[in-house]
Structures are given as C-alpha cells and as structure tokens.
Structure 1
Amino acid sequence: MARYRDGLKQATCLFEAAAWHYAVKVMCGCGHFASFDPHGLFWHFHTKGWADDFRSVRAKMWCRACRQSLGQKVRPRRLDLMQPYPPGTITLRQPDEREWKRIVNRYRG
C-alpha cells in the first residue's frame, strides 16, 4: 500500500513502482549503482514467488562488482525510485500484456 509524504504518493513495493513507471535505482555502499526497469524487476520477483516490498527486495539483491572484488555478497544500502528512466537501465524479461492487465486488475479490486 502506498504511503504519502508531503501530499505525494510514494511506492512501497515493486508493483507500485511499475504501475507508476518509476525506475528502481539500487545503490551499494561502495558507490556502485544500477537502475532497473520496474516492470521486469517486478515480474522477476512475481514469477519466483518472492515478496515485492522494498525491504524484501533489498534482501535478495547484491552488488556484482563487490562480489567479484571481495568474494562475498554485499547487500545494497539504498533503493531509490527515479523518473524518467535513466540511460543504461537494466531491462529484465517483462510480463506479456494480458498477464500485466490481469495483475493490475487484481490490485485494483
């Protein structure tokens, strides 16, 4: 469920980020970051049966650069939402249109 800050809605899960077209920027403590297309990221979590709230998303992600240099998984420090999508956004496999509309209708009802 969305929360409000200064009268504006803020997404609290990947579905809301995708529905409102906000890219998800994941930042590591070492300074590395990546931005993801929200539709593909939501679909990835949805098909795996993982929770899509941002706290759970942080627990599933890790920095690839830190993994290669340190040899261990480093969890991201922040998840931010951005609009419009920045160049170099990582795009994962997205749901087909019929499936996406079914999911949106389920959340509306």
Structure 2
Amino acid sequence: MARYRDGLKQATCLLEAAAWHYAVKVSCGCGHFALFDPHVLFWRFHCRGWPDDFRAVRAKMWCRACRQSLGQKVRPRRLDLIQPYPRDMITLTQPDEREWKRILNRYRG
C-alpha cells in the first residue's frame, strides 16, 4: 500500500514502482550503484514467489563489486526510486504483455 509524504504518493513495493514507472536505484555503501527497470525486477520477484516490498527486495540484493573484492555479500545501503527512466538501466526478461496487464488489473481492482 502506498505511503504519502507531503501529499504525494510514495511506492512501497516493486509493483507500485512498476505501475507508476519509477526506475529502482540500488546503492551500496562503497559507492557503487545499479539502476533496474522496475517491470523486470518485479517480474523476477513474482516468478520466484518472493515478497516485493522494498525491505524484502533489499534483503535479496547484494553488491557485485564488493562481492568480488571482499569475498562476501554486502547488502545495499539504499533503494531509491528515480523518474524519468535513465537510459543505462539493467534489464532482464520482460513479463508477457498479457500477463502484465492481468497483474495491473488485479492491482487496480
């Protein structure tokens, strides 16, 4: 369910970020960051049966650069939403258009 800050809606899960077209920026304490397309990130979590709220998303992600240098998984420090879409986002497999519309209708319904 969306939160409100200063009268504006704020997404609390990946489905809301995807429905409202916000890119997801994941930042590590070391300074590295990655930008994800919210549709594919939601689809990945949905297909695996993982919860899509931002606390659960943060617990599933880790910094690849820190993993290579330190040899252990380092969880991201921040998850931010960015609009408009940047061009250099990480994209994975897209959901089928029919399936995506079914999910959105269930969300809005």
Number of equivalenced pairs: 109
**Amino-acid identity (%):** 86
TM-score, structure 1 as length reference: 0.98
Q: Which runs of 5+ in 2 are unaligned?
A: none
Q: Which runs of 5+ in 1 are unaligned?
A: none
Q: Deviations over 1:16-45 (max 9, x none)?
A: 000000000000000000000000000000
TM-score, structure 2 as length reference: 0.98
Q: CA deviation at 1:87?
A: 2.5
Quick one: distance in 1 between partners of 2:34 and 2:108? 30
Find the counterpart in structure 1 of residue 14 from structure 2. Answer: 14
Find the counterpart in structure 1 of residue 49 from structure 2. Answer: 49
Quick one: distance in 2 between partners of 1:103 and 1:87? 25
Q: Deviations over 1:44-86 (max 9, x none)?
A: 0000000000000000000000000000000000000001111
Which amino acid in structure 2 is aligned with residue 33 of structure 1? F
Give the 3-state SS of the residue equivalent to 1:12 in structure 2. Answer: coil
RMSD, aligned CA: 0.6
Q: 4+ residue runs of structure 1 moved beyond 3 angstroms? A: none
Quick one: distance in 2 between partners of 1:61 and 1:32? 13
